[in-house]
Structure 1
Amino acid sequence: MSAETPAEETTESEYRVSTLELFFDLVFVFTITQLTRTLADDTSPLGFAQAVIMLGVILWMYFGYVWLTNAVPPDTTVRRLLLMVGMGGFLVIALAIPNAFGSAGAAFGIGYLIVNLVHSGLFISAGGPGSAAAMARLAPFNLGSAGLVMVGGFLPPTARAAAWIAAVVLMIVSPYVNRRHGEFRIRPAHFVERHGLVVIIAIGESIIAIGIGAAGLPLSLSLVIAALLGLVLAYQLWWCHFGRNQDVRAEHSLAAMSQADRARAALSAFGWAHAPILLGIVVVCVGLKKTIGHATEHLYLSGALALGGGAAIFLLGQALFRHRMSIGTSTWRVTGAVAALATVPIGLWLAIAQVAALVIVFGALLAVEEKQRA
């Protein structure tokens, strides 16, 4: 299929995110909460690896549903009912997350297969000529990865991890083995708005983490200061992603591309770059949860790494996103990631001091970027 010019593509109708899609995202809120809680309960290298595997599996299909509703508006009863079935599958996945590498592995796998079948079926049947044809070629890869996840759920933990890693690898290589993803039609306004909402959801989890960390504790001055610093840090994460109309600039950049380039940018900037952005936020949430209740104590290495490392992962994802969308320099984001990692020793000395140091790092980063734009 030949690429159309951006001017030709802008005649295609745009629409905003529907309330049903927002309802769908509420299940994803629960998924993020479950992942954060599970990682907070086990911050060992193994626990982190398991959380990354689960997040990779989940994000592939969540982003798949963003592509789906971008091409297939949920404006008929059948489509809405099928989306509800998909929501049910995601809910089963979320419920299984805390023990996905234990007794709930089968439930995780079955829920994932349901999510995948609904996605492929609805996309192929109603996605329009270009998108449906592209999805028909991609569906076997998606179903293959879903099969690995489901079969892995019935295997012992080590074999399960191997099967799920294989599923993630298949997801990553599938767009490059099947190079027809350029046929997907992307509506820029809806696409950018939907991805922005999932980032908001993840950042909102940091507020929940503060509340959970403070639950049952006396309202002391140190607790209030730690909570406020956590709120400031969450705001700075928001500002990094949405400040200075970064989302609007991303939408305009996407709209200016040809159909093929737009699909490739959608995959790299809103897929591969958003994965570390969301992972970084989840890991920061874990660090905040561990900090709030021990603000005047030192953190263990896992907690300090969660704060500094999570912030670094987030900023590296931001750098990749900005570079791919050509919406600003990435240099200072990479520098900020290095500085965020440098705060880890501070957390080993005093928890609240590391949160304050991260606030300073993000504040300096944003100030330098603002000065460069002036």
Structure 2
Amino acid sequence: MDERGSALLRGGVSATRATFLELFFDLAFVFALTRISQRLIDDVSTHGRDPFRESAQTVLLFLALWMVWTVAAWVTSRYEPEQAAIQFVVVASMFGSLVMAVAAPRAFSGRALTFALAYVVIQVGRPLFLTLALRGHPRRSVTARIMVWAGFGAVPWLVGALVPTAQEVLWTLALAWDYVGLALGWPLPGRGAARASGWAVAGEHLAERYQQFFLISLGETILIIGLTFSGAAYSADRALAFTLSFLTTVLLWRIYFHRAGHVLADAIREARRPGVLGESASWTHLLIVVGVLLTGVGYELVIVHPYGGAAPGWPVFVTGGPALFLAARARFEYEIFGRVSRTRVVGVVVLLALAPLGRLLSPVTVLGLSALVLAGIAAGDAWRARGRPAEEPASPL
């Protein structure tokens, strides 16, 4: 076995915390999320276009960026991030992600090829480089199969960028191909699959990376709140919407980290197969982040139009975003403790029931009611935990 290839793997002396380089890598996604959110706001606020079609395009772009980030998180949890070769992979992925973010606002018009090329270079180049760097190590069979899958997926990405009339269909198929590969372990004929759930990973590191991306998404909503309020004409109504938006973000943070968020690292570390819980948590955090992003879009719509005039679909963001967050947070709770709090289920139902009231109530009123629901859940969490020993993880996975 090649010793230089073995040196790339995480060992027992590897740091469990995320490195400064990984935090630096995340800065590209701070910018990327602002581009995605702004594009989504434009999709629902601009009249004369098809907002549903434009929103679907934006979701596709976000999922492509998430694919790049989540695979990078698995790479640095599986390989030694202090090795120069792995650092090169992280920096190169960061640059490609930044290019994708820059191209995202016009990815379905003048910058389609730029977005597709950046994505393909990351998805194909990353496993190709790792396969070469691992040399004779058995683990190179995993990176090689990922490279093969990414190579096939690159075709519809590039063709779609060059053929505008087929771009949406081809990019949807290409993204579905990539996500199927990730979910099934990139199976190849005669060689089976290599699902991430069976990988040896640094569990604490992987948990911290998911939590950091969640905090990035919260930070993006803070940017929306501040930039929107500072750019709009001041009024008491907008000040109220600004305050409620900040309060909602604080409640999202509080609900996420109440116990389950604090013990994710412990749960993965103690699991007999850390990869199983890590893989499940990756999908859960995707939904959590989407819920936060949708909620952030709702902030801008409400701050600009607190008492009317917002885009027709604004309740989808003001109540639907928190509802999706709570539903995903309930799944997260099950992953850690094997149970789901009834308050989260009730909260989802109440938030969804508030959406039809958008025709009767003002946006700022609905935002206030959404914040009230979240506050009730946070208060219920605090009440149940009062005077009781901290619950230990008992993951059914």
Provide TM-score, normalisation by structure 2.
0.84
| 1:275 has 2:250 as partner | no
- Which residue does the alignment assign to 2:269? 255
| 1:51 has 2:58 as partner | yes
Task: Select between 134-143 and 314-323 the one with higher mean Cα deviation.
Answer: 134-143
- Which residue does the alignment assign to 1:4? none
CA distance in 2, matches of 1:325, 1:80: 31
SS in 2 for 1:140: helix
Write out per-residue CA displacement over residues 17-61 of structure 1, whole angstroms, 9 at most, x where no aligned residue: 111111111101111111000010012211221122112222112
Given candidates 123, 142, 145, the residue that maps to 1:137 is 145
Matching residue's letter, 2:367: V
Matching residue's letter, 1:114: V
Q: Name structure 1 gaps, 5 residues minimum.
A: 1-8
Contact 1:255/1:262, CA 8 A, preserved across alignment: yes
- Which residue does the alignment assign to 1:90? 97
CA distance in 2, matches of 1:373, 1:216: 41
Contact 1:32/1:205, CA 8 A, preserved across alignment: yes
CA distance in 1, matches of 2:285, 2:139: 22
Measure how far apart 1:10 and its partner are. 10
Measure how far apart 1:164 and its partner are. 1.6
| 1:213 has 2:221 as partner | no
Contact 1:109/1:151, CA 8 A, preserved across alignment: no
Larger helix share, 1 or 2: 1
Q: How is 1:24-35 mapped onto 2 (pairs within 5 angstroms)?
A: 24-35=25-36
Given candidates 150, 163, 167, the residue that maps to 1:155 is 163
Contact 1:298/1:347, CA 8 A, preserved across alignment: no
Write out per-residue CA displacement over residues 197-221 of structure 1, whole angstroms, 9 at most, x where no aligned residue: 1110101111111123223333322
CA distance in 2, matches of 1:114, 1:330: 43
Matching residue's letter, 1:35: I
Write out per-residue CA displacement over residues 304-352 of structure 1, whole angstroms, 9 at most, x where no aligned residue: 2111111122222222222233365254323322222222244442111
Given candidates 157, 165, 172, the residue that maps to 2:179 is 172
Provide TM-score, normalisation by structure 1.
0.88
CA distance in 2, matches of 1:256, 1:323: 16
CA distance in 2, matches of 1:328, 1:233: 25
Given candidates 194, 207, 223, the residue that maps to 2:238 is 223
Measure how far apart 1:233 and its partner are. 0.3
Q: 1:240 to 1:121 in 2, by over 3 A?
A: farther
- Which residue does the alignment assign to 1:364? 376
CA distance in 1, matches of 2:11, 2:256: 25
CA distance in 1, matches of 2:26, 2:303: 27
Contact 1:10/1:255, CA 8 A, preserved across alignment: no
Q: Name structure 2 gaps, 5 residues minimum.
A: 1-9, 45-50, 188-192, 387-397
Write out per-residue CA displacement over residues 137-166 of structure 1, whole angstroms, 9 at most, x where no aligned residue: 333223333433232222224x21111211
CA distance in 2, matches of 1:304, 1:125: 50
Task: Select between 70-79 and 181-190 the one with higher mean Cα deviation.
Answer: 70-79
Measure how far apart 1:93 and its partner are. 0.6
Query: Larger radius of gyration, structure 1 or 2?
Result: 2
Matching residue's letter, 1:339: V
The alignment's C-alpha RMSD in Å is 2.4
CA distance in 1, matches of 2:129, 2:384: 46
Overall identity of the aligned pairs, in % = 25
CA distance in 2, matches of 1:252, 1:125: 34
